[in-house]
Amino acid sequence: MKKKILLILLVALISLAFVACSGSTANTNVNIKEVGQKYINDFFNKNFDNLVSGYNYTNTMKKQITSASLSQTYDAIIAETGNVVSYGEIQQKTESGYQTVYQIVTFEKIKLEVNVFFDKKNAIAGFNIQSAD
């Protein structure tokens, strides 16, 4: 139980808050489901430099996301959950004006939901990992 609470607190602390932010370039030709899948794959393949430079972010996200913070997040998650066992189907939903691409990832010890949030201009506005329960 203590580990689960620690994990939830850790996820809450490392989750990058998604906020509406002007200044991102509109890109209406983007398939956000494909971009979200690639983003999640890059995270779990530890392609942190590509995550920082290879995607269109809102201005707020550009200021928050670093290779170091992503690496620390990855290491902390794997330390608490064990290795990835399997990936669920990529799904998409709309909530509070954001398009969310998400996937349930099964680890050795727990299932987590990985979310990539897109604003109205199809820029990445947030990324978080939370309990799938």
Per the confidence metrics, is the pTM higher than 0.85? no
Q: What is the pLDDT of residue 133?
A: 75
**Statement: 2-20+29-131 belongs to CATH 3.10.450.590:** yes
Q: DSSP E strands: which ranges in the chain?
A: 84-87, 91-95, 98-107, 111-118, 124-131
CA dihedral (22, 26, 31, 36) in degrees, to 10, reads -30
Q: What is the pLDDT of residue 28?
A: 59
Q: What is the pLDDT of residue 96?
A: 85
For 43, residues 6+ apart whose C-beta sits below 8 A from its C-beta are 51, 70, 74, 114, 127
- Please answer whether residues 58 and 33 qualify as being in contact, where contact means their C-beta atoms are separated by less than 8 angstroms: no
The C-alpha atoms of residue 43 and residue 33 are separated, in whole angstroms, by: 15
As a 3-state breakdown, the chain gives helix, strand, coil percent values, each rounded to 5, of: 40, 30, 30
Find tokens 């430099």 and name the residue.
49
Domain spans in the chain, listed from the N-terminal domain onward: 2-20+29-131
Q: Tens place of pLDDT for every residue, the chain, 133 residues?
A: 555 544 554 444 444 443 333 344 455 567 999 999 999 999 999 999 999 999 999 999 999 999 999 999 999 999 999 999 999 999 999 988 899 999 999 999 999 999 999 999 999 999 999 999 7
Q: What is the pLDDT of residue 104?
A: 97
Q: What is the pLDDT of residue 30?
A: 79
Alpha-carbon separation of residue 59 from 8, 21, 36 (angstroms): 27, 6, 18
Work out the burial of residue 129: count CB atoms within 10 Å of its CB; fewer than 13 is exposed, 13-18 middle, 19 or more buried: buried
